[in-house]
Structure 1
Amino acid sequence: MLWSIPVARIAGTVVRVHVTFVLFLLWIGGAQWRVGGRDAAFDGVLFMLLLFGCVLAHEFGHVLAARRYGIRTPEVTLWPIGGIASLERIPEKPGEELIVALAGPAVNVVIATVLVVVLGVGLEGGSMAELENARAGILARVASANIFLVLFNLIPAFPMDGGRVLRAVLAMRVSHVEATRIAARIGQGAAFLFALVGLFANPMLIVIGLFIYLSASAEAQHVAFQDGAKGLPVSDVMLNPVETLLPGSTLDDAVDLLLRTAQKEFPVVDGAGRPRGVLTRDGIIVALRQGGAATPILEVMARDLPTVRDCEPLESALRLMNASRSPAVLVLGGDGRLAGLLTPENIGEMMMVRSVRPDWRFRARRTERSHLSGTRT
C-alpha cells in the first residue's frame, strides 16, 4: 500500500504502518507536551500505542477467523482512523462472513474483560479521576477504549464490522449482491450522519464518514463486478486481436502504436508469439522523459506480469489482477502463445454492457470492434 511502512510479519501477515499514523503520534505527543510537559506527552503517546496495539489485535481476530476458512490475509495496515486487514477475498457463505466480522470485536471484548475482571481496573468516571497511579490510569483508559471500539465497530455502517454483520444476516434471505447493495446504502447514509455530526463536534468524524462512504461504494461496485463475471471464461472478455511489439522495437515504434491505436498496454512478444513483457502508456511517457526515441523497449518494459489461460474463469483472472495490482493480465492460449490481453478498462466495458443486457454475447461484439479498429489503422 502506498506510503505504508512494513514493521513486522506476524503469522504470515505483513503489518504495515501508514506514514500518517507516525505523524499522528507526533501530533499527539506535541499537543500533550504543550498541555502538561514531557510526562503528559509520554503518557499520551504510550496510551495511543497501547490503543493501536488493541486495534492490531482486533484486525488479527479477523485474520485468524478468515484463515479458518482458507482465506489468506497478505497485510494489515494501521491508519490514524484504525486498522485495515486486506483479506484475499470475502467469505461467500453468510455464516462464515458473520464469524469473520464478529471475530474482531470479540478480541476487544476479551481485552476489556481481562483488564476489568482479571486486573481489577475500574471504569467509573469518579474512580478514574481519582487514580494517582499513571499506569493504572492508562489501563483504565485502554479498557474503556476497547469497550468503545466494540460499540463503534458494531454500528451497522458498511463496510465496518457491524455493516458486514448486517450484510451476512441479509444474505441469509436475499442474494449476496442485493445484501451488499442494501448494506452499502445504509453505510452511505451513516457516513452522511458522521460527517454532519463532525461539523459540530469532532472533525475526525468527517474523515471517518468520507472513508465509510467511499469504501461502501467501492465494495458495492466490487461485488457487482464479481457477480457479473460469474460463468464467463477469460476468452469472452479479453482484447483480441491486440497490437504487439517485438523485442527489437524501440520507443519510437511504441509511440507510433500509441498514437495510431486506442490501446494503452502493448505486449512485447518474441518471434514465436510468446510474451516477454508489457509496455504501458505511462511507461512510454516516463521512458521518453528519461531517454531518447531510440531506447530499446527491453530496457523499459514491465516484466513478470501475471498470465492466465484463455479457458480459465474470469473470476480467477480478476483475483490475480487485484492481488498483483498489475495494469494488465496476459492471456495465453493452449500453446503458450499470446492469445489476448485483459485490462481493467475492457473488463469495465464488459460490466457496463452486462448491467444492461446480462445475456449479451460480449465476445462477438468485442471481436467485431477489434477488427474494425484494425481496419481503421
Structure 2
Amino acid sequence: MQWSIKLGTVAGTEVRVHATFALLLIWIWVMHYRIGGPPAAFEGVAFIISVFLCVVLHEFGHIAAARYFGINTPNITLLPIGGLARLERSPDTPLEEFVIAIAGPLVNVAIAGLIVTVVGGALGWEQLLGPQDPRIDFLARLAGVNIFLVVFNMIPAFPMDGGRILRAILAWRLPWARATTLAARIGQSIALAMGIFGVFFNPLLILIAIFVYFAAETEAQGSDVQAISDDTSIFDVMITEFATLGPRARVGEAVELLLATSQSEFPVVDEAGRFEGLMTREGIVRAMKERGAGASVSDVMRRDIPALNEKSPIDFSLKLMREAQTSALPIVDSGERVVGLMNYETIGELMMLHYADEHFKPLGRHHQAPIARQQRPRRRYDHLDKE
C-alpha cells in the first residue's frame, strides 16, 4: 500500500503503518493536551498505541487461522480506522472463510476477558462503555475498546469480519458468487441505515457508511471476476491487435502512436518481440514534459512490469495490475514474446457482458469472433524502432 512504512517482520509477515497514522497521533496529542496538559497528552498517545497493538493481535488472529489452512499473509497495514491483512489467496471453503474471519474478534474477546480478570471487581459497565473518556482508568478503557472492536467487526457487512462470516454461512447453501453478492447487498443496506442514523446523531457514521458501502461493492465485483476467471483464461479475452515500440524509439514516436491509435499502453519489445518494458499514457506525457520528444523510450519506460503467461486466470492478472500499480500487463508465450495485452478496460467490458447475461461465457480463441475488444490502430504500426 502507498504511503506505508515498514515497522518490522513478525513470523514472516511484514507489519506496516500508514503515514496517516501519524496524523491521528498528533490529533490525539493536541486533544488530550488541551484537557490535561503534557501528562494527559502522553497518556492519550500511549492509549492509542495500545489500542493498535490490540488491532495487530486481532490481525494476527486472522493470520494464524489462515496459516492453519496453508494461506500465507505477506503483510498487514495499520490505518487510522484499523488494520488490513493481505492474504496470499482467498479461502477455498466456507469453513475456512468462517474460521479465518472469526479468529480476529475472538482475540479481542480474549484480551478483554484477560483485562477484566486482572482488574477484577474494579470494573463496571459504565467504565467499559466509556473508552473515549480520558478520566476512566487506562485498563478499563482498553477493555472497553476491545469489546467495541468485537461488536464493530461483527457487523454483517464487508469489509468487517461479520460480512465474511455471513458470506461463509450463506456459502454453505449457495454458490460462492451468489453468497458474496447477497452478503454485499445486506452490507450495503446496513450501510444505508447507518448513514441515515448518522445524519441525525453522529456525522462520523456517514463516513463509515460510505466506506462500508463501496467496500461491499468492491467485494461483490471481485467475486464476479473470480467466477468468470474459473472458466476463462487470459488467452480467451486478451487484446491481440496492438502497437508496440522498440527500445531505440524516441518519446516523440510514442506520442505519435498515442495520437494515432486507440491504445493507452504500449509494450516495448526487442527485435525478437520479447518484452522489455511498458510505456503508458501517463508515462509518455510525463516524459515529454521532463525529457522532451528526443528522449529514448528505454530511458523512461517502466521496467518493473511483470509479464503474464497466456494461460493465467483473469483474476490473477487483476491482482498483479493492482500490486504493480499499472493499467496494463503484457501477455507472453513460451518464448517470452508479447502476444497480447490485458488492461482494466478489457476486464471492465468482460464484466459488463457478464452482468448483461449471467450465463455469459467467453468463446475462446478457437472461435472466429473473440469476445474481447480488439485494439485496432487507425494507422498500423507493427513495431516502431526508428534510428
Q: TM-score, normalising length from structure 2?
A: 0.89
What is aligned with 1:54? 54
- Deviation of the 1:92 alpha carbon: 2.9
Q: Percent identity?
A: 46
Distance change (3 Å), C-alpha of 1:34 and 1:288: same
What is aligned with 2:19? 19
Distance change (3 Å), C-alpha of 1:274 and 1:238: same
Alignment check: 8 A CA contact 1:350 1:362 kept: no
Number of residue pairs aligned between Structure 1 and Structure 2: 372
What is aligned with 2:174? 174
Separation in 2 of the partners of 1:121 and 1:269? 72
What is aligned with 2:240? 240
Bigger mean CA deviation after superposition, 226-235 or 274-283: 226-235
- Deviation of the 1:323 alpha carbon: 3.6
Specify the code of the residue in structure 1 equivalent to 2:157: A
Alignment check: 8 A CA contact 2:105 2:153 kept: yes
Separation in 2 of the partners of 1:271 and 1:126? 74
Specify the code of the residue in structure 1 equivalent to 2:52: F
- Which structure is higher in helix share? 1
Bigger mean CA deviation after superposition, 141-150 or 72-81: 72-81
Where structure 2 has 5 or more consecutive residues not aligned to the other structure, the ranges are 381-387
- Deviation of the 1:338 alpha carbon: 1.2
C-alpha distance after superposition, 1:216-259 (max 9, x if no partner): 11111111111112221221111112210011100111011100
Specify the code of the residue in structure 2 equivalent to 1:106: L
Alignment check: 8 A CA contact 1:115 1:121 kept: no
Q: Residue 361 in 1 paired to residue 363 in 2?
A: yes
Separation in 1 of the partners of 2:311 and 2:68? 30
Alignment check: 8 A CA contact 1:111 1:146 kept: yes
Separation in 1 of the partners of 2:183 and 2:250? 51
What is aligned with 1:36? 36
C-alpha distance after superposition, 1:54-104 (max 9, x if no partner): 111111111221122222222212222211112233213100000010010
Specify the code of the residue in structure 1 equivalent to 2:278: V
- DSSP 3-state at the match of 1:370: coil
Q: How does 1:305-344 map to 2 (within 5 A)?
A: 305-344=305-344
Separation in 1 of the partners of 2:140 and 2:229? 50
Alignment check: 8 A CA contact 1:21 1:79 kept: yes
Bigger mean CA deviation after superposition, 104-113 or 301-310: 301-310
- DSSP 3-state at the match of 1:268: strand
Separation in 1 of the partners of 2:371 and 2:95? 42
What is aligned with 1:283? 283
Distance change (3 Å), C-alpha of 1:248 and 1:115: same
Bigger mean CA deviation after superposition, 112-121 or 87-96: 112-121
Separation in 1 of the partners of 2:374 and 2:146? 57
- Deviation of the 1:32 alpha carbon: 1.2
Alignment check: 8 A CA contact 2:247 2:298 kept: yes
What is aligned with 1:296? 296
> CA RMSD of the aligned region, Å?
2.4
What is aligned with 2:95? 95
Q: TM-score, normalising length from structure 1?
A: 0.91
Q: Which of 1 and 2 has higher RCO (CA within 8 Å, sep 6+)?
A: 2
- DSSP 3-state at the match of 2:278: strand
Bigger mean CA deviation after superposition, 98-107 or 56-65: 56-65
Alignment check: 8 A CA contact 1:244 1:266 kept: yes
- DSSP 3-state at the match of 2:88: coil
Separation in 2 of the partners of 1:368 and 1:57? 45
What is aligned with 2:153? 153
- DSSP 3-state at the match of 1:190: helix
- Deviation of the 1:376 alpha carbon: 5.9
What is aligned with 2:196? 196
